[in-house]
Amino acid sequence: MTTRSERLLAVLQILQRHRRPLAAQAIADETGTSLRTVYRDVEALRAQGAVIEGEAGIGYILRPGYLLPPLMFTRDELEALVLGARLVAARADPALAGAAGAALGRIGAVLPEDLRAFVDSSPLLVPGRLPNAASPVMADLREAMRTERKARIAYRSLQGAESERVIWPLAMGFFESVQTLVAWCELRQGYRHFREDRITACIILPDRYPKRRAALMRDWTATERQARDAADRG
């Protein structure tokens, strides 16, 4: 049975996902409650400091600035966080792996004792750390992506040939045994996938991408879709 605090949290999370007024009936449908319960829950949240604008018949919107207390997680949400942090620790570079552990530690520090024990004893396990996960190159490339700057990399092909490329790093893929980087390659004038274990050096350049990363990602996604469609037709 859902507790009142869990129901109030669910209403907050629903409102946080919407930037326009949301009808009370939509909230009731998603939480599995009645309209009267939604009205009471909105008033209770307002009394706790949440700035919820709107009224019955019009809809409700949560104004920015209201932060959820970190301890307001369900057990399923906590298990998802633990599993995600453990996967990052096993798959990512040392900086990102350390950040995952630190974030989990901060969450654990504010949890009630029973939930802290629940986090510590989570039965969801992941395989051991990848042997190539200690490379510092991926941390540099993540910084390039955050700042939308080009990077110069030294890359070794499957046949062992060395090349130097100027790339626009766009995204990373974390797979079971390898990490890959999606980037626009100026040498090849196209999108390419680079294996992390073959990138032997990386320098972040002062030059920015000619377009925003989000626009380049949409272009890459469309290119990938076209390639899949062509393969299906072939």
Question: If you search the block for the tokens 């890459």, which residue do you land on?
Answer: 220
Q: Convert the pLDDT of each residue in 108-129 to its tens digit.
A: 776 767 777 777 777 777 766 6
Task: Assess contact for 149 and 202: CB atoms under 8 A.
Answer: no
pLDDT of residue 2: 60
Note whether 38 and 27 are within 8 A (CB): yes
- Are 172 and 166 in contact by the 8 Å Cβ rule? The answer is no
CA-based nearest residue to 169, from 186, 184, 152: 184
Q: How much is the pLDDT for 19?
A: 82
Which residues in the chain come in under a pLDDT of 70?
A: 1-3, 65-72, 110, 112, 127-135, 234
pLDDT digits (tens, 9 = 90+) for 155-189: 998 888 999 999 999 998 877 777 889 999 999 99
Q: What is the pLDDT of residue 129?
A: 64
Helix (H) or strand (E) holding 23: none
Q: How many CA atoms lie within 13 A of 81 on its CB side?
A: 24
| Non-local CB neighbours of 189 within 8 Å, separated by 6+ positions | none
| Alpha-carbon span 41 to 144, nearest angstrom | 44
Q: What pTM value is reported for the model?
A: 0.62
Helix (H, G, I), strand (E, B) or coil at 163: strand
Q: How big is the chain by its Cα radius of gyration, in Å?
A: 23
